[in-house]
Amino acid sequence: MTTDGPDDGALVVRALAGDQAAYGALMQRHRDAVWRLARGHVGDSDEALDIVQESFVAAFAALSRYNGARPFRIWIARITLNKCRDWHRRRAVRRFFSFARPLDEALAVATPDATPEDMASSAQQVARINSAIATLPANLKDVLLLRTIEQIGQADTALILGISQKAVETRLYRARTKLNEILRD
């Protein structure tokens, strides 16, 4: 996230006044974090891109309800988590009716000095971890992604999820324990 230029609050005010460049600046400033959160939640890069788009469309449609006293990052993260939950519900319904198997995950991780074998092994490990994260219950997955991947503080994570800081700490511990169990098997 870049901090160059006006702060998020000023961009929101400009966007509400119809400034398209302010919309673009907000999206560019937060899109990577939103994508990482969505990808971590759903385990699929392409689906995460769709969720990013849905999240920003929903955020901009509700921009007049944004509370400037709180960080925009927290507000857009909450919207993203809601869109991820919607995605999981839609997917469950589609799977029920079509008996479809989950989409294969593919994530290429490139290292300039890596051999093709190293890259394949690394990609498999990343896919395995993403798959394991995707199997966690939503309450554990949300905390793990916000705290570990997005490195959002405990207080802000509690605010995003509407839980106490102690609950964030407990859920993070449980998520890590469960993730270790899954990866050990």
Q: Which CATH fold would you assign to the domain 1-103?
A: Rna Polymerase Sigma Factor; Chain: A (1.10.1740)
Residue percentage of the chain with pLDDT more than 70? 81
- Each domain of the chain, given as residue ranges in start order, spans 1-103
pTM: 0.60
Average pLDDT, the chain: 82
| Residue with token string 């989409």 | 103
Q: pLDDT, tens digit, for every residue of 8-19?
A: 999 999 999 989
CA-CA-CA-CA torsion sign (50, 53, 56, 57) = negative
Q: What is the mean pLDDT of residues 74-93?
A: 84
Q: What is the mean pLDDT of residues 136-157?
A: 88
Is pLDDT above 50 for 64? Answer: yes
Q: pLDDT, tens digit, for every residue of 25-40?
A: 999 999 999 999 999 8
Q: What is the pLDDT of residue 3?
A: 54
Q: Between the CA of residue 74 and those of 82, 111, 123, 132, 183, what are the distances in Å? A: 13, 32, 30, 25, 30
